[in-house]
Amino acid sequence: MFDLAGYGPQIFAGTITTVELSLLSLAVSFIIGLIGASAKLSKSRSAATIATIYTTIIRGVPDLVLMLLIFYSLQIWINDLTDWLNNLQDSIDFEVSLNPFASGVITLGFIYGAYFTETFRGAFMAVPKGQMEAARSFGMKPFLIFRRILFPQMMRYALPGLANNWQVILKATALVSLIGLSDVIKAAQNAGNGTFRTFYFMTIAGIVYLLLTTLSNGVIMLLERKYAVGVRRAAL
Amino acid sequence: MIYIIENYWREFLYSDGYHVTGLAMTLWLLTISCAIGFCLAIPLAILRNSRNPLLWVPVWIYTFVLRGTPLYVQLLIIYTGLYSLDFIRDSAPLAAFFKQGIDCTILAFALNTGAYTTEIFAGAIRDTSFGEVDAGRSLGMSQATLYRRIIIPSALRRALPVYSNEVILMLHSTTLAFTATVPDLLKVANDAYSATYNPFAAYSTVALIYLCVSFTLIFTFRKAEQHFLAFLKP
């Protein structure tokens, strides 16, 4: 169907990298989001303040700037840390070098964790208070309340926001090719430079992204149906 | 950090002596692309709500494609892709346009924000309460007058909170301009980084500037909401 001039495997591998990167970043930011939302809603004043500073700063600064900041600085900090450890004890000598994939996951997870924090905070607040009180009166432990009562109900309110965040993460992975990851864009650029058909190959990269976003829209619709089980909709 | 600010403050704010750079360039990109996107979005949003498939389907395809692909890909297609096509290089005015990084950047940004803004405005138009429309019709307004006097002013007001988000996201997206050789804030930060090998100082300086711009925009939009949405106050 498409004439890929021998760059098919490279583009396919790039697509896989993009999908892996987005899914891992989603997982990281999901967890950061849950922790951040709990911190924001907790009674501890300092936890709430730290979480507020985190979400305010992250959401006020462009993701590309944060990505470059974290990608270049993280390596220097890790080097300083390992130097310090090596000086501490002469017998050990180790170093950690970050590859673009790992720093992409860490950075995207850290950035979108702030957006997830806000989504989850709103969703937790939307769960009726009576649910918590009922669960407590049954003698449930906090973690059990979270797992059985809060989380499943919260997910229904959070899904539209999560779906939106997921689409943003998927599109933000395009930026990671700027810090040297061989994702689908890098593959398309290589193919374009090799064959002098940049337009054609960049369009293919665009189609790959379009397929991924359309596919995830379908999955999100299924999830929305699953978490809306037991909710009676108003007949309009 | 002090060193970078002392040596690069002029580049960061407005000029490197030859070109407009830094904050001035970023704000110009933001203003021009949001202005073009806004003008594009109003007619498209009206078409998007049309009952004629010949009108709404093309607009739907436009917003679907531009919202479904990353802006970076769109910028690469317009900046590096189009210029590789023969018919563009053969026609002098097109070649002159697509050779300039800044033209391509503004075109890509405007088309992108136009797609998002179209959906925002189309949603607001769809949510216009039927009472307002009925009242307009009963006064004998034509379709055009109805849109001009009733639907558009009310829809734009209600779209303001969502639209302000889109403008902030657009500010964040302007950072991609440096990939098309436009000397915006991030390009200056890159220069400062490669001159000093101090990534943290270079990028956190520029992050602070972006933070200030974001807060200013949020504050301005909040003031605008208080003014234009005063009728919604409890």
How far is A62 from chain B, CA to nearest CA, in Å? 4
Q: Is residue A215 part of a domain?
A: no
> With the C-alpha atoms ordered A118, A123, A126, A128, is the resulting torsion angle positive or negative?
negative
Look over chain A and give the mean of its residue pLDDT values, rounded to a whole number: 83
At B84 the three-state DSSP class reads: helix
Question: What integer is the mean pLDDT of A57-77?
Answer: 86
Mutate to test the interface with B, among A61, A76, A170, A196 (most CBs of B within 10 A): A61
pLDDT digits (tens, 9 = 90+) for B93-118: 777 777 777 888 999 999 999 999 99
Q: Is residue A194 part of a domain?
A: no
CB contact under 8 Å between B71 and A171, yes or no, is: yes
Least confident of A62-71, A86-95, B70-79, B199-208: A86-95
Q: Is residue A202 part of a domain?
A: no
Q: What is the pLDDT of residue A127?
A: 83
In terms of pLDDT, which residue wins out, A57 or A83?
A57
Domains identified in chain A, total number: 1
Contact of B46 with chain A, judged by CB distance below 8 Å, is answered with: no
Q: What is the pLDDT of residue B117?
A: 92
Out of B68, B70, B207, the one facing A214 most closely (by C-beta) is B68
Q: Is residue A206 part of a domain?
A: no
3-state SS, A108-119, equals HHHHHHHHHHHH
Q: What is the pLDDT of residue B30?
A: 92
Angle between helices A45-60 and A8-41 (to 10 degrees): 140
pLDDT digits (tens, 9 = 90+) for A106-138: 888 998 999 999 888 888 888 888 888 898 898
* Confidence tier at A94 by pLDDT (50, 70, 90): low
Contact of A160 with chain B, judged by CB distance below 8 Å, is answered with: no
Cα distances from A97 to residues A17, A65, A101, A176, in angstroms, run 19, 21, 11, 17
CA dihedral A151, A154, A159, A165 (to 10 degrees): -80
Out of A62, A73, A199, the one facing B85 most closely (by C-beta) is A199
Round to whole Å and give the CA distance between B20 and A181: 31
At B20 the three-state DSSP class reads: strand
Mutate to test the interface with A, among B171, B175, B210 (most CBs of A within 10 A): B175
pLDDT(A32) > 90: yes
Q: Is residue A156 part of a domain?
A: yes
Q: Is residue A6 part of a domain?
A: no
Location of structure tokens 């397929």: A211
Round to whole Å and give the CA distance between B185 and B145: 43
pLDDT(A90) > 70: no
Side chain identity, residue A45: R
Q: How many CB atoms within 10 Å of residue A131?
A: 13
Contact of A210 with chain B, judged by CB distance below 8 Å, is answered with: yes
Least confident of A91-105, A142-156, B192-206: A91-105
Q: What is the pLDDT of residue A84?
A: 80
Cα distances from B188 to residues A45, A211, A216, in angstroms, run 39, 35, 37
Considering only CA atoms, give the Rg of chain B.
Answer: 21
Round to whole Å and give the CA distance between B117 and B195: 39
Round to whole Å and give the CA distance between A64 and A46: 29
Q: What is the pLDDT of residue B6?
A: 66
Round to whole Å and give the CA distance between A173 and A183: 8
* Confidence tier at A233 by pLDDT (50, 70, 90): low
Cα–chain center distance at B67: 13
How far is A142 from chain B, CA to nearest CA, in Å? 36
Cα distances from B231 to residues B123, B142, B155, B165, B224, in angstroms, run 20, 26, 14, 21, 13
CA dihedral B82, B88, B93, B98 (to 10 degrees): 20
Domains and CATH numbers, chain B: 2-232 (1.10.3720.10)
The two tokens of residue A44 are: 């501890």
Q: What is the pLDDT of residue B17?
A: 67
Question: What integer is the mean pLDDT of A6-35?
Answer: 87
Q: Is residue A199 part of a domain?
A: no
pTM of the model: 0.83
DSSP secondary structure code for residue B82 in this structure? G
Alpha helices in chain B (DSSP H): 2-13, 22-48, 53-68, 71-76, 86-90, 92-99, 101-126, 130-138, 143-145, 152-173, 185-196, 199-228
Question: What integer is the mean pLDDT of A90-99?
Answer: 66
How far is B221 from chain A, CA to nearest CA, in Å? 15
B207 contacts on A by Cβ (under 8 Å): 61, 65-66, 69
φ, ψ dihedrals at B100, nearest 5°:
-80, 120
Q: What is the pLDDT of residue A232?
A: 64
Q: Is residue A31 part of a domain?
A: yes
How far is A194 from chain B, CA to nearest CA, in Å? 12
Residue A174 sits in a domain whose CATH number is 1.10.3720.10
In terms of pLDDT, which residue wins out, A96 or A235?
A96
Round to whole Å and give the CA distance between B4 and B206: 11
Residue numbers of the domain that contains A171: 19-182
Contact of A164 with chain B, judged by CB distance below 8 Å, is answered with: no
Q: What is the pLDDT of residue A95?
A: 63
**String of DSSP letters for A48-115:** HHHHHHHHHHHHHS-HHHHHHHHHHHHHHHHHHHHHHHHHH-TT--------HHHHHHHHHHHHHHHH
Q: How many CB pairs under 8 A join A and B?
A: 110
A185 touches A177 (CB < 8 A): yes
Q: What is the pLDDT of residue A234?
A: 56
**H/E element, A22:** helix A8-41
CA dihedral A65, A69, A72, A77 (to 10 degrees): -170
Please, which residues 87-146 of chain A have a Cβ atom closer than 8 Å to chain B? none
* Confidence tier at A12 by pLDDT (50, 70, 90): confident
**String of DSSP letters for B157-181:** HHHHHHHHHHHHHHHHHGGGGGGGT
Side chain identity, residue A66: L
The parts of chain B modelled with pLDDT lower than 50 are none
Round to whole Å and give the CA distance between A11 and B171: 31
φ, ψ dihedrals at B15, nearest 5°:
-160, 150
